[in-house]
Structure 1
Amino acid sequence: MTTFALVGAGPGLGLATARRFGGAGHAVALISRSAEKLDALTAELARDGIQAGGFTADVLDTESLDAALYAAAAALGPIEILQYSPVPRADFMKPVLEATADDLDAPLAFSVKGPVTAVNAVLPGMRQLGRGTLLFVNGGSAVRPHPDRAGTSIAFAAESAYARMLHDALAAENIHAAQLIIPGAIRPDAEHSSPEVLARRLYEIHLKRDGFRHYAEPLPD
């Protein structure tokens, strides 16, 4: 059995993707800052018959993230799929004319250092398996910067560039890097952006391996 590792586990999209990949036969490693949240999520997955473990880490603390991913692989099996989808903090979204250089430190750590750390932790195991999938989930500001959300617009663009380079550099090794852009809010009643629909879309991206950037729905005009 191989493992689906989710960085940014939560009760919405995170739980839905954990169910989708876990239901397909993967063990599930949930990574979040909150041990209490992880306990609740792993218990819920266990009721569905899915083997899951929770591992605490803060994506702004690269050592803790690295340790969590290594612990997950040791406990559950080699990580075949990594999903990086933590939710940005509200203070990352200052208007561009109010943002200072220091205001970019945390967003860039969150969206660049975090993904680089996570990928470097799982890549050796994927290479041993001879396959792997790296899934990056971002909001619309990754491709259409918003002047009221300077931190995420800048940091998501950098994450997108990193993910695209991985897509090109790892294709020959059967390791597929892809990005899913979710332009609006994730809502249970959304036709294209409900947690369950997005989870199915991410699983489809993993299976089809047919390109880098995907959209949950068209960007609004």
Structure 2
Amino acid sequence: MTTIAIVGAGPGLGAAVARRFGRAGFDVALISRDADRTRAFAAELAGEGLTASGFAADVRDPAALGAALDAATATLGPIEVLQYSPVPHRDFMRPVLETDAADLVGPIEFSVYGPVVAVRHVLPGMRELGRGTVLLVNGGTAAIPHTERAGTSIAFAAESAYGHLLHEALAPDGIHVAQFVIPGAIVPGHPRKDPDALADALWTIHRDRHGYRHFADDLDA
């Protein structure tokens, strides 16, 4: 089996996805800014019988993110599935009338440059495998922009466009690119937005390889 790389691996969705794909036989590469927490979580997964390694990188640092993905490949083997799901900073969510050009630098680095760097680093391995899945996970402003969350609304729209272009361009190579929109918060115990339910949905998207945009729940939920 090959590897899933989870960029933005945290204790909620990232942990659930790591376990869901790990149970299916994937090795798991965990990438986040907090090196100690990421390595501790990798050790926890290893204690559960899964193969996992942690790598530290800030998605706004292209060199660090690329190096982490390269290290994951060297350690675990080719990355077949890339999930890009870091949680946006709160300061990206400013009202549109209070947002200037400088306020958009962070969101664009986070939601556009980061995915571009990640995809460029895993694509050669996917092409060599002859298959792959890229899962872009976004909040509801990816589908409906919100005047009080200008940064994520603008950056998610750009990320959505990039993903859609990849969806069309990479399909002939056997690489499926999909966007998974989670409206509102991830809610433990919720029938559709519990972390385990979301992980199952992402597994289904990977397995079925159909369509670009998928929704975890109704946009007004």
Give the TM-score normalised by structure 2. 0.99
Q: Quick check: 2:39–2:55 contact (8 Å CA) kept in 1?
A: no
1:94 aligns with 2:94: yes
Alignment size in residue pairs: 221
Structure 2 residue ranges without an equivalent (≥5): none
Q: Deviations over 1:51-102 (max 9, x none)?
A: 0000100000000000000000000010000000000000000000000100
Q: Which residue of 1 aligns with 2:84?
A: 84
Q: Which residue of 1 aligns with 2:133?
A: 133
Q: Which residue of 1 aligns with 2:147?
A: 147
Q: Quick check: 2:104–2:151 contact (8 Å CA) kept in 1?
A: yes
Q: Could you tell me the percent identity over the aligned residues?
A: 62
What is the CA distance between 1:43 and its match in structure 2?
1.8
Q: Quick check: 2:43–2:53 contact (8 Å CA) kept in 1?
A: no
Q: In structure 2, what is the Cα distance between the partners aligned to 1:103 and 1:184?
A: 22
1:203 aligns with 2:207: no
What is the CA distance between 1:39 and its match in structure 2?
2.0
Q: In structure 2, what is the Cα distance between the partners aligned to 1:20 and 1:189?
A: 17
* SS, match of residue 42 in structure 2: helix
Q: Where in structure 2 are the equivalents of 1:149-168 lying within 5 Å?
A: 149-168=149-168
1:22 aligns with 2:3: no
Give the TM-score normalised by structure 1. 0.99
1:191 aligns with 2:191: yes
**Once superposed, what is the RMSD of the aligned Cα atoms?**
0.8
* SS, match of residue 97 in structure 1: helix
Q: Deviations over 1:169-218 (max 9, x none)?
A: 00011000000000011011211101000000000000000100000011
Q: In structure 2, what is the Cα distance between the partners aligned to 1:144 and 1:157?
A: 9
What is the CA distance between 1:40 and its match in structure 2?
2.1
* SS, match of residue 80 in structure 2: strand
Q: In structure 2, what is the Cα distance between the partners aligned to 1:164 and 1:96?
A: 25
Structure 1 residue ranges without an equivalent (≥5): none
**Structure 1: which 4+ aligned runs deviate by more than 6 Å?**
none
* SS, match of residue 99 in structure 2: coil
Q: In structure 2, what is the Cα distance between the partners aligned to 1:25 and 1:182?
A: 26
